[in-house]
A and B are shown apart, each in its own frame.
Chain A
Amino acid sequence: MPKTSELNPPRIIVEGVRKTYTLRHTQSFKETFVAWIRRKKTSTSFQALNGIDITVGDSEAIALLGYNGSGKSTLLKLVSGVLRPDAGRILTRGRVAGLIEVGAGFHPDLSGRENVYLNAAILGMSKDEIDARFDEIVEFSEIGEFIDTEVKHYSSGMFVRLAFSVAIHTELDILLVDEVLAVGDAPFREKCKTKIREIVAAGKTLFIVSHDLGMVSDLCSRGIVLRRGEMVFDGAIGDAITTLKASTR
């Protein structure tokens, strides 16, 4: 049984969610027309998620486990609103921030400072909120004096540190993390983990996708195992990892 607080309503409700991808084989009007004339199929469908029910409460840290193609990232994208479910419904309460792709909104020709503002705004922060947290973001990223340098001159490590730092400092109630914790060197990863623990301790909800089982068992209390779009386990993280290891792709 998931631990949902008796007093507070849940943060995320996933109810009977199904997601089917339609893979189109035609890329233009012409191809569509030719395929239609030849009575070939213009698309095939692929069931990415089927009948998923999850309720997540306040200050829960949940790990979404599964092998490649199990539908983890799809589920995370559905919760973030990037994708829409084909059936069922998803409801969220509060601000959702996604650490889904580090640096998706970064522009190489802009300085680090400008990128911080741009990305924080993309993640839903207002100017005042960014102003208030700017120093904290720069300090966490360890970029220091290079903050006014164009991002294209950054090393890849600097780039991800800054991007991650922006994302983790956004004002949020629900944090979605997809495979991005594998960034930076060991000391920085350690720092990120500490920060994430702080976020959970502050009563925020964490929804994390990762193949790094060691880190997941460290950060999360509850695990959900997906296999080929079906939910096969929902419970304590230790048992979830055991279930995952016993299952096949």
Chain B
Amino acid sequence: MSKPDSVDLSAFSVPGSGRGILDVFSYGYLLRLLVRKGILTRYHGSVLGWAWSYVKPTAQFFIYYVVMGVFLDLSRGIEAFPIYLFSGIVVVNLFNEAFGNATKSIVNNKALVKKIYLPRELFPIADVFIAFVHFLPQLSILIVVCLIFGWVPTFVQLAGALLAIFIVLLIATGLGLLFGSINVSYRDSQNLVELILMFATWTSPVLYSFTMVRDKLPTWAFDLYMLNPLTSAVELFHSAFWFPTTSEAAERPEHLWFFAGISVVVALVVLLIGQFVFRKLEGRFAQDL
């Protein structure tokens, strides 16, 4: 047998070794097809089809509005409460959808992961993109409603909304890689994620105003509350969509851009940790599924 050492090994590659997330970019076409598949098959076989993407958030909005606004009277002191509520809900929905689906993506794509080598990061990342596409109908409802109420945002406010979307997608990808890779061996992971998602709606100022938290909590605890990337994303959305439709007399959180900057850093760190853990566990995916 020929000695492998005697040949030039530079043209060889080790099967199954990749550069992680970076490899996903060289599979851009496949990523596009996977996202397309997710979108095409989402409402397959349903009569209303994509209309569900409008019906669901609208129904969710009415429930929150009736309970929070009418029964609990939380709208007291918050001008244009329905818009306040909805602009926060869409952000949390985006996070929940992206993070929740990314966590289950490796297990859901079992057949492929076990049979063919692909950069496995493709699956959670495709799910985050699909979640983003499903977020667009909700965003369009929000924009239409805001326009009816005389919405004229500034350029800075719109940039804030884009930053908020970026933060949410980034952190959902990072957490999705982390919990998705653990989920292969321990399905406890997806249950834990459901718990986290339940908390997400309540630990950011979606259904109430941040001032209520500030008035109850000591300063350090409130700072911690503001450090939650989802909080800054929700507040950036409030600034962009809800605030311009009000008389602009309401109080806005201080240093919001500073907290948003920290959120970007936090999201990047989470992404790095997620990728690191993912790569550590990836070697066992095919045999543990």
Please report A residues at the B interface, Cβ cutoff 8 Å: 1-2, 4, 9-10, 13, 15, 21-22, 24, 27-30, 53, 55, 77-84, 89-93, 96, 98, 100-101, 104-105, 107, 109-110, 114, 117-118, 121-123, 126-127
Contacts and interface: CB of A to CB of B under 8 A. Distances in A.
22 contacts: A13-B4, A28-B188, A55-B1, A55-B4, A77-B286, A82-B115, A89-B14, A90-B15, A91-B12, A93-B13, A98-B117, A100-B115, A100-B116, A101-B114, A101-B115, A104-B112, A104-B116, A121-B30, A121-B33, A122-B30, A122-B116, A122-B118
Nearest to B113: A82
Given A28-B186, A91-B13, A91-B14, A83 B4 contact: no
Nearest to B110: A104
B77 interface: no
Interface in B113-130: 113-118
A82 B11 CA distance: 20
A184 to B, nearest CB: 19
Contacts of A81: 14-17, 117
Contacts of A55: 1-2, 4
A193 B285 CA distance: 33
A21 B287 CA distance: 8
Contacts of B40: 109-110, 114
B199 interface: no
Given A101-B114, A122-B118, 13 more contacts: A9-B7, A22-B287, A24-B185, A28-B187, A53-B1, A77-B286, A82-B116, A83-B286, A91-B9, A91-B12, A101-B111, A114-B37, A121-B33
B115 A98 contact: yes
Interface residues of B, number: 39
Interface of B: 1-2, 4, 7-9, 11-17, 27, 29-30, 33-34, 37, 40-41, 44-45, 111-118, 185-188, 283, 286-288
Given A10-B2, A29-B186, A91-B9, A78 B15 contact: yes
B286 A109 contact: no
A40 to B, nearest CB: 18
Q: Which 9 A-B pairs have the closest CB atoms?
A: A81-B16, A81-B15, A81-B117, A91-B12, A101-B115, A121-B30, A104-B115, A9-B7, A109-B44
